A and B are shown apart, each in its own frame.
Chain A
Amino acid sequence: MTGQENALIEINNLKKYFNVGRGAVLKAVDDVNLKIMEGETLGLVGESGCGKTTLGRTVIRLYEPTGGEVLFEGKNVHKLQGQELRGFNRKAQMIFQDPYASLNPRMTVADIIGEGIDIHGLYKNRERTERIYELLNLVGLNKEHANRFPHEFSGGQRQRIGIARALAVEPKFIVCDEPISALDVSIQAQVVNLLMELQQKFKLTYLFIAHDLSMVKYVSDRIAVMYLGVVVELATSEDLHKSPLHPYTQALLSAIPIPDPETERKKKRILLEGDVPSPINPPEGCRFAKRCRHAKPVCTEKQPEFKEVEKNHFVACHLY
């Protein structure tokens, strides 16, 4: 991505805190700034619990932010009303991590896919049925599947139903929250190929959350790395893999197990000591300092600024 495209989504100083009782506040997302360009895939990676899902859910208005704003086509998502709000609810969709839990077991596939069409009054009667068949076709299922229930499908097929449901309302933007983690390799490949084809066909914009960094690199134009509620690095996926700057990103990349025995035998991994600190009362200064090999005194005193250190390559670290 170059600087010329339009931002479909602008995330400015976004905060999402949770009250977890006895006055304790959990800072799941703490001052995040990101732009997602029209037609791009922005990958989002980071340790379990660092706030990826919370960020995705706040962006599509499933959560109210504690602070900051999200602009979609220039408008503040959390202030939309009436017609504009309905429009946004249609244009921004989410594909959920768990293909088993995210489909209502008592609804037929046709009704799961048709629900959004009905809510937004997009098609009726015959047209509605045809639209559902068309969507099933698009995701590699067929109309014989329409009247079956989710439990009659394999994991990969269920994930396809979830994708058809998201596409039913002709969205522009989809948050894909670990859409492939629960699937085995060859089915992962099928689902990813499908997502990429659909993106080209309909000029979709994706926020793609996943653990598998090789896959994230493959699907994403740019990648943001989160750690404990903050974005610590942002770059094109090429740059991020070739020259990761943040010590956490470096550790993350060095830990990907590569499906090649010789590479694995030669590999030197950067081992991280200790566990992720709690997002309740996160440490002052750099949140990674306790586990960082390069930590200096300033790191525990001052939170590093998120700044552009190379063209289109941003990092929050006192080393740069």
Chain B
Amino acid sequence: MERLLEVKDLQVSFKTYAGEVKAVRGVSFHVDRGETVAVVGESGCGKSVTMQAIMRLIPMPPGVIKNGTIIFDGKDITKLSEKEMEHIRGSEISMVFQDPMTSLNPTMKVGAQIAEGLIKHQKMHPSKAREKAIEMLKLVGIPNAEKRVDQYPHEFSGGMRQRAMIAIALACNPKLLIADEPTTALDVTIQAQILDLMRDLQKKLNTAIIIITHNLGVVANLAQRVLVMYAGKIIERGSLDEIFYNPRHPYTWGLLMSVPTPELDKNKRLASIDGTPPDLFAPPVGCAFAARCEYAMRICYEKYPEDFPVSDGHSAACWLLHPMAPKVKPPVGKGVTL
């Protein structure tokens, strides 16, 4: 498969009165054309900031990109002018934000919001853009699209607004769609419709998708690859099945074990990860998870673990994978011994 996006050693900080928040601390990953990559991890671990950096939407100040290259479709987008970047945002990379009400313009008709980018970036004729807007609303499953196109966001229900956001994001046939918690506010039946829709569109248009979510059911449903983040770094990465069935990082184990499944026994307590994530003003020198990890060894506090390969495309940053480390049986997955 062909590379679409390659992020190398991205470091983003925020300078606040209390000091420097090291929000993203050296993140590298890639996305191929037409594939779906899920990003998971605890609140505050840097998922949204990483995506904002790709879109060049980090508020500066207080934000600073301290290091890193972002190659998109062959171009280093950290070097583009704001004008060139605006074009990329309007027609090559689209983002769906978590809250559709704050990211739709309440004073503008939904159809006009879909057409806006087409007129501006693809120089489409307004009447043609309106037709395309209707077509997009139909595509995202909004009934009565001819009528709905002239309505305002507040006349749409929550689920319809979310679909309208997706229609805007996809109208320009982007090469990359970044969806930040796109279904959190929706109930399961509408969530299912949206996931199906994203999958269909991806098949039709070969769009690559990065989805950020803390719903591991959504990950299992949609993703081909998974990145697990913790305290500003990617601590494990691999194919969907490798992450769910052969996870190697204790944080990933904790994450997978915290999720209830319909089969879960009521008389058992839910597993949870005790403690809190580290302070990003002064992140620990060693493994950032050490203070909460029941397997932590001395070296874990002293030295950051390198990325140990597990199999093709699967690696984890954990000292347990070092050949000299004690063998530990993962408490989740299909029980492969390390």
Task: Give the CA-CA distance A192 to B187 in the complex, in Å.
Answer: 20
Decide if B258 touches A264 in the complex (CB within 8 Å).
Answer: no
Decide if A48 touches B218 in the complex (CB within 8 Å).
Answer: no
B195-235 interface code vs A (CB 8 A; 1 in, 0 out): 11000000000000000001111111100000000000000
Q: Which residues of B contact A212 (CB under 8 A)?
A: 260
Q: A1-56: which have CB < 8 Å to B?
A: 46-49
Q: Is B127 an interface residue (CB 8 A)?
A: no
| With A192-B270, A264-B220: A252-B43 Cβ-Cβ less than 8 Å | no
Q: Which residues of A contact B218 (CB under 8 A)?
A: 257
Q: Is B18 an interface residue (CB 8 A)?
A: no
A274, closest chain B residue (CB): B143
Decide if B188 touches A213 in the complex (CB within 8 Å).
Answer: yes
Decide if A185 touches B262 in the complex (CB within 8 Å).
Answer: no
Q: Is A62 an interface residue (CB 8 A)?
A: no
Q: Which of A46, A49, A192, A257 has the most CB of B within 10 A?
A: A257
**Which among A214-222, A296-304, A312-320 touches the partner chain?**
A214-222
Q: Is B240 an interface residue (CB 8 A)?
A: yes
Q: Which residues of A contact B293 (CB under 8 A)?
A: none
Q: Is A272 an interface residue (CB 8 A)?
A: yes
Q: Is B269 an interface residue (CB 8 A)?
A: yes
A291, closest chain B residue (CB): B189
Name the contact of B192 in the complex, choosing from A184, A261, A271 (C-beta under 8 A): A271
Decide if A185 touches B259 in the complex (CB within 8 Å).
Answer: yes
Decide if A259 touches B219 in the complex (CB within 8 Å).
Answer: yes
Q: Which of A263, A275, A276 has the most CB of B within 10 A?
A: A275
Q: Which residues of B contact A193 (CB under 8 A)?
A: 269-270, 272
Q: Is B241 an interface residue (CB 8 A)?
A: yes
Task: Give the CA-CA distance A257 to B255 in the complex, in Å.
Answer: 16
Q: Is B72 an interface residue (CB 8 A)?
A: no
Q: Is A66 an interface residue (CB 8 A)?
A: no
Q: Which residues of B contact A154 (CB under 8 A)?
A: 43, 276
Task: Give the CA-CA distance A154 to B216 in the complex, in Å.
Answer: 22
Q: Is B330 an interface residue (CB 8 A)?
A: no
Q: A260-283: which have CB < 8 Å to B?
A: 260-261, 263-264, 269, 271-272, 274-276
Decide if A218 touches B272 in the complex (CB within 8 Å).
Answer: no
Q: Which residues of A contact B101 (CB under 8 A)?
A: none
Decide if A261 touches B259 in the complex (CB within 8 Å).
Answer: no
Name the contact of A259 in the complex, choosing from B191, B217, B241 (C-beta under 8 A): B217
Q: Which residues of A contact B177 (CB under 8 A)?
A: none
Task: Give the CA-CA distance A130 to B184 in the complex, in Å.
Answer: 39
Q: Which of B216, B245, B259 has the most CB of A within 10 A?
A: B259
Decide if A185 touches B216 in the complex (CB within 8 Å).
Answer: yes
| With A185-B255, A218-B266: A259-B216 Cβ-Cβ less than 8 Å | yes
B267-307 interface code vs A (CB 8 A; 1 in, 0 out): 00111111010000000000000000000000000000000
A233 to chain B, nearest CB (A): 15
A242, closest chain B residue (CB): B262
Q: Which of B159, B193, B260, B276 has the most CB of A within 10 A?
A: B260
Q: Which residues of A contact B255 (CB under 8 A)?
A: 185-186
Name the contact of B42 in the complex, choosing from A186, A241, A269 (C-beta under 8 A): A186
Q: Is A258 an interface residue (CB 8 A)?
A: yes
Name the contact of A257 in the complex, choosing from B188, B254, B260, B272 (C-beta under 8 A): B188
Q: Is A211 an interface residue (CB 8 A)?
A: yes
Decide if B271 touches A258 in the complex (CB within 8 Å).
Answer: no
Q: Is A116 an interface residue (CB 8 A)?
A: no
Task: Give the CA-CA distance A184 to B181 in the complex, in Å.
Answer: 12
B103-143 interface code vs A (CB 8 A; 1 in, 0 out): 00000000000000000000000000000000000000001
B42 to chain A, nearest CB (A): 6
| With A215-B260, A274-B143: A189-B188 Cβ-Cβ less than 8 Å | no
Decide if B192 touches A257 in the complex (CB within 8 Å).
Answer: yes
Q: Is B60 an interface residue (CB 8 A)?
A: no
Decide if A257 touches B220 in the complex (CB within 8 Å).
Answer: yes
B271, closest chain A residue (CB): A189
A110 to chain B, nearest CB (A): 22
Q: Is A146 an interface residue (CB 8 A)?
A: no
Q: Which residues of A contact B160 (CB under 8 A)?
A: 275
Q: Is B261 an interface residue (CB 8 A)?
A: yes
Name the contact of A255 in the complex, choosing from B188, B254, B260, B266 (C-beta under 8 A): B188
Which residues of A come within 8 Å of B, CB atoms?
46-49, 154-155, 181, 183-190, 192-193, 196, 211-215, 217-218, 241, 251-252, 255-261, 263-264, 269, 271-272, 274-276
A/B interface sample: 25 pairs, CB < 8 A: A46-B187, A48-B187, A49-B158, A184-B42, A187-B43, A193-B272, A211-B187, A211-B188, A214-B261, A255-B192, A257-B188, A257-B192, A257-B217, A258-B220, A258-B262, A259-B216, A259-B219, A259-B244, A261-B220, A261-B241, A261-B244, A261-B245, A264-B220, A272-B193, A275-B143
Apart from the given pairs A48-B158, A154-B43, 8 other A-B contacts in the complex at a CB distance below 8 Å: A183-B43, A186-B255, A186-B258, A189-B260, A193-B269, A214-B264, A257-B188, A259-B261
Nearest 4 CB-CB pairings of A with B: A257-B217, A189-B272, A259-B216, A189-B270
